[in-house]
Amino acid sequence: MPNLYVALTHYPVVNKSGDIITSAVTNLDLHDISRAAKTYGVKSFYVVTPLKDQQVLAQRIIAHWTAGTGAAYNPARRRALETIKVVDSISDVVEDIRHFEDRYPKTAVTCARRYPSSIGYEKFRSILKTAMPHLLVFGTAWGLAEAFISEADYILDPIMGSTDYNHLSVRTAAGIILDRLLGV
Amino acid sequence: MPNLYVALTHYPVVNKSGDIITSAVTNLDLHDISRAAKTYGVKSFYVVTPLKDQQVLAQRIIAHWTAGTGAAYNPARRRALETIKVVDSISDVVEDIRHFEDRYPKTAVTCARRYPSSIGYEKFRSILKTAMPHLLVFGTAWGLAEAFISEADYILDPIMGSTDYNHLSVRTAAGIILDRLLGV
């Protein structure tokens, strides 16, 4: 099994104009990405927001499906959503992983823009075959803030199809990237 | 460019108990799958429902992003959503493609269950390299009705990750399947 963690962060991300913002939590991001994480054997899926009301919202969605009526109605969804941890910051994610693994993870980020230093999926797929813990961070809104991207250990190539259109939702991009890295 | 069409159908699909139902249109299915379709060069994305009120709902969502305030706010989303055609039935989809292509498409379906006759993604990827039009049909709710699946020309293998969990959302599954078939 891969030693991979995934985080979806709502800060620091940029809006359409490139300003750094905190975005709102989207219900279906939690559902879709937790289900993909569960499918591909991701160890934990962190939902990152510094806003307390947004943390409460995320926890309410998760509780409905893990302890509420949703849990009995749809056990498969419970198994996915119970992999979610809601935290304040990426620093908290990294500390949580260190606590669990006894070492810090290497971080990888994704971006719709191409960077000179970005690496391909085959390469990162082989890196993941080592026992080293890795954290893959997805940004919401118009993507991760530049300063955050430049601090990551790895930047993954943008996902391109057979056209020049690259505006996938983060839900779809996360699924495709996990499939490229861990699909059989 | 591939000669591929995609349909998301809300009938005939099954509910949790296996009964044939008509499911409700989900806003983000339209967004996410149209954006993936645009990324991978799909010719048209059909949203299929026999329910008139659901057709009106789908058209309202599309109009907001293709002609309403959303179109000016987010042109990338406009380009995706304008590939959508809302129709009554899969028969209408097939006739629309025949009208455009001067021949009927071959149909392919996807299912979370494995069928003895299902084919892999590499095989269908090579089939798509021919000029023949193909229609890939995704089901909502608990998946396409059995009778519909058995009539398709091809059944694709279920998407499996590194676990036995296979409960991806249709949005995520559509993205992963298009990437496996048409990704570069």
Residue A83's CATH number: 3.40.1280.10
Q: What residues of A are in contact with residue B29 (Cβ under 8 Å)? A: none
Round the average pLDDT of chain B to a whole number and report it. 95
Domain of B135 in residue numbering reads as 4-182
Please give the pLDDT value at position B184.
86
Identify the residue whose tokens are 């926890």: A59
For residue range B50-59, list pLDDT tens digits in order: 999 999 999 9
Per-residue pLDDT tens digits for B64-89: 999 988 888 899 999 999 999 999 99
The helix-helix angle for B170-182 and A170-182 (nearest 10°) equals 50
B163 close contact with A: CB closer than 8 A: yes
Say if B27 is an interface residue toward chain A (CB within 8 Å): no
B38-75: string of b/e by CB count within 10 Å (b at 16+)? bbbbbbbbbbbbebeebbebbeebbebbbeeebbeeee
SS3 for B138? strand
CA A26 to centroid of chain Cα atoms: 13
Which residue of A79, A167, A182 is the best one to mutate when testing the B interface, meaning the one whose CB has the most B CBs within 10 A?
A167
Q: pLDDT tens for residues A21-57?
A: 999 999 999 999 999 999 999 999 999 999 999 999 9
d(CA A84, CA A67) in angstroms, rounded, equals 13
pLDDT at B111: 86
Asked if the Cβ–Cβ distance from A40 to B182 is below 8 Å, we say: no
> Contact at 8 Å (CB) between B153 and B26?
no
Q: Tell me the pTM.
A: 0.96
pLDDT at res. A128 = 96
Backbone angles phi, psi at B94, to 5 degrees: -60, -40
Q: How confident is the model at residue B169 (pLDDT cuts 50, 70, 90)?
A: very high
User: How many domains, chain B?
Assistant: 1
Cα–Cα distance for residue pair B112/A76, rounded to 1 Å: 13
pLDDT higher than 90, residue A99: yes
Alpha-helix residue ranges (DSSP H) falling in B5-162 = 27-39, 52-66, 69-73, 75-81, 90-101, 121-127, 146-151
**pLDDT tens digits, residue range B76-131?**
999 999 999 999 999 999 999 999 999 999 999 998 888 999 999 999 999 999 99
Angle between helical axes of A170-182 and B27-39 (0-180°, round to 10): 60
CB contact B176 to A (< 8 Å): yes
A28 in contact with B, Cβ within 8 Å: yes
Average pLDDT of chain A is 95
Question: Which 3-state string (H, E, C) describes A14-79?
Answer: ECCCCCEECCCCCHHHHHHHHHHHHHCCCCCEEEECCCHHHHHHHHHHHHHHHCCHHHHHCHHHHH
What percentage of chain B carries pLDDT values higher than 70? 100
- Calpha distance A50→A55 (Å, rounded): 8
- Residue A113 is predicted with a pLDDT of 84
Per-residue pLDDT reduced to its tens digit, A125-168: 999 999 999 999 999 999 999 999 999 999 999 999 989 998 99
Cβ-proximal residues to B20 (8 Å cutoff; 6+ apart), any chain: B11, B12, B13, B14, B145
The distance from CA A39 to its chain's CA centroid, rounded to whole angstroms, is 14
Predicted local confidence at residue A1, as pLDDT: 80
Confidence check: pLDDT of B1 > 90: no
Residue range B8-42, pLDDT digits in tens: 999 999 999 999 999 999 999 999 999 999 999 99
CA–CA distance from A45 to each of A161, A176, B142 (Å)? 26, 16, 24
User: What b/e string do you get for A61-84 counting C-beta neighbours within 10 Å, with b at 16 or more?
Assistant: bbebbbeeebbeeeeebbbbbbbb
User: ipTM value of the model?
Assistant: 0.95
Residue that is written with structure tokens 């629309």 in the block: B96
**Which three-class secondary structure state does DSSP give residue B136?**
strand
